[in-house]
Structure 1
Amino acid sequence: MQTEFKQYIKMVGRGQRAGEMLNKEQAFDAMQQMLEDKVSPEQLGAFLMLMRVREETAEELAGFVEACRTTVQSEFTELNIDLDLGCYAGKRRHLPWFLLAVMAFAQSGRRVFIHGTAEPESQRLYIKEALQFFGIEPATNKQSAEQQLNQFGFCYVELADLNKPLDKLIQLRALFGLRSAANTLARMLNPSKAKHSLHGVHHRNFDIRHVDAAQMCNDTSVVCFRGEGGEVEFNPERDATLHYFKQGNKGELKMPALLESWQIKPRALDLVQLQQVWLNQVDNNYAEQAVIGTLAIFLLTTDAVATVDEAIQQAKNIWQHRSATWPLG
C-alpha cells in the first residue's frame, strides 16, 4: 500500500533538526509514485528540490534506483554486456576522450553499453553529439543496439528509449534550473544488466554513496570515481580514488596521476581532434594519458587485471595496438 505522497514531503522538509531520512522502502515507494505520475507537479517539484538541498542518503538512493529499474525497457537486458557506462554529465573543459577508450576497449573484445541524455539549456558537449559527428545515431531498440555492438563492440542508447519516466525527471531542469537526484539515478541504472558498471561523478563523497547504494541493491560489480567533468573519464593531471563494491566486498584503489604537470586547456572543443588522436595525426599528451588512464579503470572494473600497475601497462598495450583505421565512418 502506497503512502500518501505529502507525507514524504513533510518528512524531508521539516528542516535540519526535525527533517527525517527515508528508509529504502519509503524511498522506493516515493520514486515509484513519481515515475507513475501519481503526484501533482507541485508535489514533484517540492520533493525533488528539497532532496536537492538536503542531498540523498545512500539508503534513499538505493530505494530510488530500485524503483527506477522497474521501469526500464526489459529488451535491453538480453544483450550480454561486459561494461555499463552511464554518461550524463557532458563535457565543457575537454573533449570526451573516454570515447576513444571505449573504442579501444571494444576492439579488444569487450562489449560496452553506453547510455545518456542531454540536459536542457546546457552548454556542455554530450556523447550523443560526439557520436553523431562520426555518423553514429543512438540505438532505439534491442535490434539496433545489437547491430552497433556487432559493428563497433559498443552501442549508445538514449535514456528516453530506456526509461522514459526517469528521463522526464532529468528534463525538468528546464523548469527548475537545477539538477535533481535523477541524474545520479541514471548513472546507477545499469539498464542492460551488464556484468560490471562504472560510474563517474563530480561532487565529493558521491562516489562513496554510489557504492554504499550498490551494496544495498545487491549489485555484483560497481566502481565509482570522480571523473573529469563528472564523466567516466580519468583526469591524468591528478590522482583518482576508485571506490568499488564487488562480490560482496567494498574497497578502494588509487590511480596515480599520469602527467607531471598541468596542461593548458583547449579554447574550444573540436571533435575532429578525436579522430586525429586516434590516427596519431596530432601529438596530444593529455588526450593519450586520459585514454590510457580511462582504459586502465575499465580493466580494473571488469576484473581483467589484479593491480593498478598491471592495468596501466595493459591499457598502454591496448592503446598502442588499436586498429589503424577509424571505425566510425
Structure 2
Amino acid sequence: MIHLLKEVARGKRGARDLTYGESLEAAEKILSLEATPAQIGAFFIAERIKMESVEELEAFVAVCRKHTYRPPVQRGLDCAGPYDGRRKSFMATIPVSFVLAAAGLPVTLHGSASLPPKWGITLQDVFAAAGISADRLSKEDSLRAAERTGLLYVQAEDWCPPLKRLRPIREELGMRTVLNTAEKLIDYAHSPYLAFGVYHNTVFDRLGRLLTSLEYKKALIIQGAEGSEDLHIDRPTRTYLVENGEAHLRVIDPDAYGLETPVPESEWTAADQLRVAEEVLRGQSEAAYLHQTVLNAAVRLTLADKAESVEQGLYTAKAVLDSGDAFARYEEWKSTLLRP
C-alpha cells in the first residue's frame, strides 16, 4: 500500500492518478482491510486533495461490487441518493419510488446509517420511523418485499460488509472520500437505468465518463436537492443524460409543465419525512411535495423508457396517485417487511 500512497500523496502538484490496475490494488487492500487504518485514512485524504480520476472511481466501484451480494432480481431503476442524508429538503424519492413501482417500473433504493460530512437524515432513519428496524431487516425480507411490490430496499452495510468495516475510519475523518461516490454505484439489483444525485455540477463530465464505462443503458446525473437525485420543484434543475456513450446537459424546468411551486422552509426529522411521504401517496399533501413527486416520477419513467415524454410520464404518475395504487403498493411493501 505504501508504494501506492507515495504516488497519490505527493501534494497537489506532484501527485499522479493511479492506473486502473493500481487502483484495483488499492481498493482491494482498503476494502479487505489489508491496509492499516492509518494508510486507509492517508489514501482517502490524498485522493480528496488530488481528486479521484475516472479510472480510480471505476476501480473502487468494481471492488465494492465484488464484495457485495448482488442478486439480479430487478431490471429497473436504481435511485442513488446521498448516504450522508438530508437536512433541509423533502425526500421525494420515497413516494416517487412507490409511484414508479405501481406504474410497472421496479426500483432499488439503498443507503445506510448517516455518514459525514452532512450527517443528515437517511432512508434508514425514515423507514425506522415506519417501524422497519435496520437490525431486524434481512436480505430475505427485502427480496420478498421486492418480489411482491417492485420496491427493493437495500441496507448497504449488510449487503456490502466492507462498508460497515470502514465506517469507523470514515466517521473519524469526517469528510467525503472516494467511497461516497463508489457506494452509490454498487448497483445491487443489476439495474439498467440510474438516477444519480450530485451536489456540484463540476463533476458532471467526470461522472458522465464513469457511468459510460459502467455500461448503464441510460443514466441521469441530477444536481438535486442537497446533492440528491430529487429534481427541484421551485426552480430549474441541471441534469446530465448519459446514453449510448454520450452525455448531454439537460435543464429540467418545472415551470415548463405548470408545476413550479414555492417550497416551505423546514428542518426535517425522520418522522416528518415519513408523514409527508405518506400524505403524498394518499394525495393529501401540500402542493409543493405532490408536484415534486409527480415531476420526479415523470422524468424517471421517461428515463427508463416507460413513458415517451415527460408529459406522458406526468399523466401516468398522476393516474397512479389518484387511483390509490401507489399508496396500496407502499402499504403492501411495509406490511411485508413488518410481518413476523
Please classify the TM superposition score into its range, dividing by the shorter chain length: 0.7 to 0.9
Residue 338 (structure 2) aligns with? none
Contact 2:220 2:241 in 1 (8 A): yes
Residue 147 (structure 1) aligns with? 144
Question: In structure 2, do the counterparts of structure 1 residues 12 and 286 end up closer, same or farther at CA, with 3 Å as the change threshold?
Answer: same
Contact 1:117 1:158 in 2 (8 A): yes
Question: In structure 2, do the counterparts of structure 1 residues 151 and 221 end up closer, same or farther at CA, with 3 Å as the change threshold?
Answer: same
Identify the range of structure 1 (105-114 vs 200-209) with the bigger mean alpha-carbon deviation.
Answer: 200-209
Question: In structure 2, do the counterparts of structure 1 residues 108 and 64 end up closer, same or farther at CA, with 3 Å as the change threshold?
Answer: same
Contact 2:85 2:115 in 1 (8 A): no
Q: Deviations over 1:309-329 (max 9, x none)?
A: 444444334433343656146
**Displacement of 1:260 after TM fit?**
4.3
**Displacement of 1:182 after TM fit?**
0.6
Identify the range of structure 1 (171-180 vs 184-193) with the bigger mean alpha-carbon deviation.
Answer: 171-180
Question: In structure 2, do the counterparts of structure 1 residues 80 and 279 end up closer, same or farther at CA, with 3 Å as the change threshold?
Answer: closer
Task: State yes or no: 1:30 paired with 2:26.
Answer: yes
Gapped runs of 5+ residues in structure 1?
A: none
Contact 2:127 2:133 in 1 (8 A): yes
Q: TM-score, normalised by structure 1?
A: 0.88
**Displacement of 1:187 after TM fit?**
0.9
Among candidates 91, 97, 101, match of residue 96 of structure 1: 91
Identify the range of structure 1 (263-272 vs 53-62) with the bigger mean alpha-carbon deviation.
Answer: 263-272
Residue 168 (structure 1) aligns with? 165
Contact 2:99 2:317 in 1 (8 A): no
Q: TM-score, normalised by structure 2?
A: 0.85
RMSD of Structure 2 on Structure 1 (CA): 2.4
Gapped runs of 5+ residues in structure 2?
A: 336-340
Percent sequence identity over aligned pairs: 21
Looking at secondary structure, tell me which structure has more helix per residue.
Answer: 2
Question: In structure 2, do the counterparts of structure 1 residues 43 and 268 end up closer, same or farther at CA, with 3 Å as the change threshold?
Answer: closer
Contact 1:106 1:154 in 2 (8 A): yes
**Displacement of 1:160 after TM fit?**
1.2
Contact 1:31 1:67 in 2 (8 A): yes
Task: State yes or no: 1:201 paired with 2:198.
Answer: yes
Structure 1 letter corresponding to 2:53 = T
Among candidates 54, 57, 63, match of residue 61 of structure 1: 57
Poorly superposed stretches of 4+, deviation over 4 Å: 120-123, 258-261
Among candidates 270, 276, 279, match of residue 273 of structure 1: 276
Question: In structure 2, do the counterparts of structure 1 residues 167 and 247 end up closer, same or farther at CA, with 3 Å as the change threshold?
Answer: farther
Task: State yes or no: 1:48 paired with 2:44.
Answer: yes
d(CA) in 1 for partners of 2:158, 2:277: 27
Q: Secondary structure at the match of 2:250?
A: strand
**Displacement of 1:305 after TM fit?**
2.8
Q: Deviations over 1:217-267 (max 9, x none)?
A: 333333221121122211112222332333434334331134546433124
- The number of residues matched between the two structures is 321
